């Protein structure tokens, strides 16, 4: 039995020193579990099909929901007749805007609040009615049987025309959601001081959220208690919003989200489908599964807004940036949803420049509302800024890497405060060195001088993510049982990034136990602790310090308990994983599993809380990416040959999941730059034309390079938090598209200012260039 107990602990490895009560834990100098390449703790469940996602949930007597959606981009609902639908086979519940329970409910889009079923439909896909029936097919048959009359209204689908005099008003207030302005220094004087001034307009298209697991939930009532199995990035966020909408105490709403098949920002909050499922379940007295179809997700679960950007920049001959003037217009969609949120942060903060002015306009159009999309706003601005940096470098005869290194900021200029650490310089320098930048440029230029229709190009881009240090609130509970095994209880969702694995590694590092003996409970508002949604690259820097604090709380209690057995003050004892030892008398030691009070109590419970971020300091991750590609100038086909991403995201906790994040971010960036765009019929119908995976082109294995390299730039950052971590998920996708565009310029001599650049666009530009 003793051998079994000892096997729970890592053998022969030191454990971090336990701080005294009130003291901050020392920064990890050397780690034995953290930083290794460990497979996910739930890998078997995921690959074997044993993991139960919300879309897998099946309950006794469960029925199925479906939603009738407006087929027009702009219309008034003048009649809804559900009499025929109610008589359809298997139908158990039907709700409309006239259903008493639904009529009193409000739905919010940020500051906007309107009816759950608004008779003024402002985008194709707006909910008009909902049905629940015994089978999925019966529910959809009933939806099609509902008779709806619409007054079709004029629409506007182009954000560049939303503020024109002849554009129809989407809201009584007009089509302007809001404006945002920022300025420092004197931009006019900055341009006067420049040796070269360039300006250019850039365009990016809307990307649609389409994660592998469809949006939706299962809703069930037990008397007055609602339970939701939701595909979500944050169970507590869903609980809070649904309790408010339905006027329920938080204690009466339980949300469970143990697995989720992708979210990328679109599942940070509940959808109308969550409320509709709850209402249908209450009306029918049966659990209701309401999972959207793929086509529905394209219409109503969010997008990365399109953008029209104008950037003017000035530079001296020595490479010093003197001024940047940036404007942007972007659409929230039909409701306020942050159409231009954060889009200017790269301009404000990435490079040292004393004179900067930014102005953005967020507008309404008749299309689905935006939602946060991996690094909201940042890839759009990077598309403009990083191409402009290359053009400036070209005009003054400076290498693009050298120009960026010339303009490394010392502080966060957007916030006017110092960084805890800034690894931008190291990302660019070490990334260029590892990529072999100079030789790659020479090789590509030499290749392009030969008589071949296959041209080569290399390009780069850099970025900062505007947050990434996490922060409170967060609570974690760790239990250490009398046999030495451990339970970790946290409310954070594992959105596919390996959160559970990383947190188990942090607990294992601090407690000296093997990660495989840590049992994890997470993402259940009834049984786990409060956590904010997993998103914005803040999960690891928020939750990992909290887990460490909980583990330290366990260790402190064990030292107090052991002091009674050894008759030694707790302050004289060291916790060393499998045993506790006196500092002054090494013969005085006791196995953790032999501590009397632990054996009697059966468990020690440690509670950890996330402390505040450092005051008046910015905690930001940085990245630099490098790309090599080939272009077939006869066909327009492009092949990305290799990609390298150098990331300053603080300490690497699990190298395996870290690299997975990097590669996934590059793939999404390729989609933004080369394949993905929302196509609305802006002239005739205003409807979405590409609402499936066939017509909406996600990058596949054939579109991404076999050679992708992740290069962590680990800089000790004890100020950021007690694990020294910063965010990773967002910065790995921000500069990808711009790096591709810069490589395309080297290969073709064409500056592609409109994203995405697909083979059709490539051929069009090559033909135009040939024709003069």
CATH classification code of 307-468+617-771: 3.30.365.10
At residue 375's C-alpha, the angle toward residues 720 and 370, to 5°, is 135
Residues of the chain with CATH 3.30.365.10: 2-30+470-609, 55-153+213-300, 307-468+617-771
**pLDDT score of 2:** 36
State pLDDT tens for residues 491-502.
999 999 999 999
C-alpha dihedral sign at 542, 548, 554, 560: negative
How far is C-alpha 371 from the geometric centre of its chain's CA atoms? Answer: 11
Task: State both tokens at 76.
Answer: 């008034």
Which of 13, 5, 12 has its CA nearest to residue 510?
A: 13
Peptide bond into 249 cis (omega under 30): no
Q: How far apart are CA 544 and CA 528, in angstroms?
A: 16
Q: How far apart are CA 486 and CA 518, in angstroms?
A: 5
State pLDDT tens for residues 270-303.
999 999 999 999 999 999 999 999 999 999 999 9
- DSSP H helical ranges for 451-538: 499-511
**Residue 490: C-alpha distances to residues 513, 522, 525, 528, 534 (Å):** 18, 5, 10, 5, 12
Q: Which residues, including other chains, have CB under 8 Å from residue 108's CB and lie 6 or more apart?
A: none
Task: State both tokens at 175.
Answer: 């089509």
Provide the phi-psi class of 287: left if phi over 0, else alpha when psi is between -120 and 50, else beta.
beta
Q: What is the mean pLDDT of residues 702-724?
A: 97
- Burial of 487 by CB count in 10 Å (0-12 exposed, 13-18 middle, 19+ buried)? middle
Q: What is the mean pLDDT of residues 100-125?
A: 96
Q: How far apart are CA 474 and CA 614, in angstroms?
A: 16
SS3 283: helix
> What pairing do the DSSP bridges indicate for beta strands 225-230 and 196-204?
unpaired
Q: How far apart are CA 200 and CA 260, in angstroms?
A: 41
State pLDDT tens for residues 728-765.
999 999 999 999 999 999 999 999 999 999 999 999 99
With cut-offs at 50, 70 and 90, classify the pLDDT of residue 24: confident
Other Cβ atoms less than 10 A from the Cβ of 193: the count is 16
With cut-offs at 50, 70 and 90, classify the pLDDT of residue 5: very low
**Residue 339: C-alpha distances to residues 156, 303, 306, 329 (Å):** 15, 10, 8, 8
State pLDDT tens for residues 669-697.
999 999 999 999 999 999 999 999 999 99
Mean pLDDT of the chain, nearest integer:
96
Q: How far apart are CA 351 and CA 314, in angstroms?
A: 13
Is 322 within 8 Å of 190 (Cβ atoms)? yes
Output phi, psi for 742, to 5 deg.
Answer: -70, -35
Chosen CATH of 2-30+470-609 out of 3.40.50.1950, 3.30.365.10, 3.50.50.60, 3.30.1490.100: 3.30.365.10
**pLDDT score of 73:** 98
**pLDDT score of 577:** 87
State pLDDT tens for residues 70-90.
999 999 999 999 999 999 999
**Residue 465: C-alpha distances to residues 347, 350, 392, 472 (Å):** 12, 9, 23, 19
Q: How far apart are CA 267 and CA 265, in angstroms?
A: 6
Peptide bond into 467 cis (omega under 30): no
Q: How far apart are CA 676 and CA 694, in angstroms?
A: 12
> What pairing do the DSSP bridges indicate for beta strands 579-582 and 573-575?
antiparallel
Top CATH class of 55-153+213-300 equals alpha beta
Q: Which residues, including other chains, have CB under 8 Å from residue 118's CB and lie 6 or more apart?
A: 97, 126
Other Cβ atoms less than 10 A from the Cβ of 772: the count is 4
Flag whether pLDDT at 11 surpasses 80.
no
Output phi, psi for 168, to 5 deg.
Answer: -65, 145
Q: How far apart are CA 434 and CA 432, in angstroms?
A: 6
């Amino acid at each position: 039995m003793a051998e079994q107990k000892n096997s729970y602990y890592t053998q022969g490895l030191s454990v971090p020193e336990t701080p005294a009560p009130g003291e901050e834990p020392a920064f990890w100098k050397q780690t034995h579990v953290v930083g290794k390449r460990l497979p996910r703790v739930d890998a078997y469940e995921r690959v074997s099909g044993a993991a139960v996602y919300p879309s897998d949930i099946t309950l006794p007597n469960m029925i199925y929901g479906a939603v009738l959606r407006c087929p027009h981009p702009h219309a008034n609902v003048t009649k809804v007749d559900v009499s025929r639908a109610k008589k359809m086979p298997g139908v158990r519940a039907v709700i409309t805007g006239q259903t008493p329970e639904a009529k009193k409910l409000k739905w919010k889009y940020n500051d906007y609040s309107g009816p759950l079923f608004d008779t003024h439909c402002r985008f194709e896909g707006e909910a008009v009615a909902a049905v629940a029936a015994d089978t999925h097919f019966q529910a959809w048959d009933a939806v099609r049987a509902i008779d709806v009359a619409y007054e079709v209204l004029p629409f506007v689908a182009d954000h560049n025309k939303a503020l024109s005099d002849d554009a129809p008003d989407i809201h009584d207030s007009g089509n302007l959601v809001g404006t945002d302005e920022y300025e420092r220094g004197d931009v006019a004087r900055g341009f006067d001081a420049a040796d070269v001034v360039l300006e250019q307009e850039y365009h990016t298209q809307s990307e649609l959220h389409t994660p592998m697991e469809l949006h939706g939930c299962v809703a069930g009532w037990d008397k007055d208690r609602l339970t939701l199995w939701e595909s979500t990035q944050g169970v507590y966020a869903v609980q809070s919003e649904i309790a408010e909408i339905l006027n329920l105490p938080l204690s009466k709403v339980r949300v469970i989200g143990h697995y989720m098949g992708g979210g990328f920002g679109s599942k940070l909050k509940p959808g109308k489908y969550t409320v509709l499922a709850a209402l249908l379940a209450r009306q029918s007295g049966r659990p209701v599964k309401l999972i959207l179809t793929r086509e529905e997700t394209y219409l109503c679960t969010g997008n990365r807004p399109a953008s029209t950007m104008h950037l003017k920049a000035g530079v001296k001959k020595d490479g010093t940036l003197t001024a940047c003037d940036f404007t942007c217009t972007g659409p929230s969609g039909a409701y306020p949803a942050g159409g231009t949120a954060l889009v200017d942060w790269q301009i404000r903060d990435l490079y040292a420049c004393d004179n900067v002015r930014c102005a953005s306009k967020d507008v309404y159009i008749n299309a689905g509302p935006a939602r946060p999309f991996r690094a909201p706003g940042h890839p759009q601005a990077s598309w403009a800024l990083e191409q402009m940096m290359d053009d400036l470098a070209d005009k003054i005869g400076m290498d693009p890497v050298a120009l960026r290194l010339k303009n490394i900021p010392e502080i966060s200029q957007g916030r006017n405060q110092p960084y805890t650490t800034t690894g931008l310089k190291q990302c660019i320098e070490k990334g260029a060195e590892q990529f072999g930048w100079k030789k790659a440029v020479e090789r590509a230029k030499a290749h392009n001088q030969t008589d071949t229709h296959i041209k080569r190009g290399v390009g780069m881009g850099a970025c900062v993510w505007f947050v990434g240090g996490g922060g409170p609130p967060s609570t974690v509970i760790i239990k250490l049982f009398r046999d030495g095994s451990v339970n970790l209880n946290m409310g954070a969702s594992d959105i596919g990034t390996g959160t559970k694995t990383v947190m188990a590694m942090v607990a294992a590092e601090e407690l000296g136990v093997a990660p495989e003996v840590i049992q994890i409970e997470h993402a259940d508002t009834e049984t786990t602790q409060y956590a904010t949604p997993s998103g914005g690259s803040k999960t690891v820097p928020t939750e990992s310090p909290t887990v460490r604090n909980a583990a330290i709380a366990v260790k402190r209690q064990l030292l107090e308990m052991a002091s009674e057995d050894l008759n030694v003050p707790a302050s004289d004892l060291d916790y060393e994983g499998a045993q506790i030892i006196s500092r002054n008398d090494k013969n005085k030691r006791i196995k953790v599993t032999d501590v009397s009070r632990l054996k009697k109590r059966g468990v020690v419970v440690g509670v950890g809380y996330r402390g505040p971020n450092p005051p008046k300091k910015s905690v930001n991750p940085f990245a630099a990416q490098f790309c090599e590609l080939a272009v077939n100038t006869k066909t327009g086909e492009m092949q990305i040959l290799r990609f390298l991403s150098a990331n300053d995201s603080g300490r690497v906790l699990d190298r395996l999941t870290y690299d997975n994040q990097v590669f996934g971010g590059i793939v999404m960036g390729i989609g933004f730059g080369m394949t993905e765009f929302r196509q609305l019929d802006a002239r005739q119908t205003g409807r979405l034309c590409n609402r499936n995976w066939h017509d909406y082109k996600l990058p596949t294995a054939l579109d991404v390079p076999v050679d992708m390299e992740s290069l962590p730039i680990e800089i000790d950052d004890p100020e950021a938090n007690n694990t020294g971590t910063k965010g990773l998920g967002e910065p790995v996708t921000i500069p990808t598209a711009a790096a591709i565009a810069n490589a395309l310029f080297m290969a073709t001599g064409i500056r592609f200012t409109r994203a995405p650049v697909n083979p059709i666009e490539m051929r069009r530009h090559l033909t135009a260039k040939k024709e003069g």
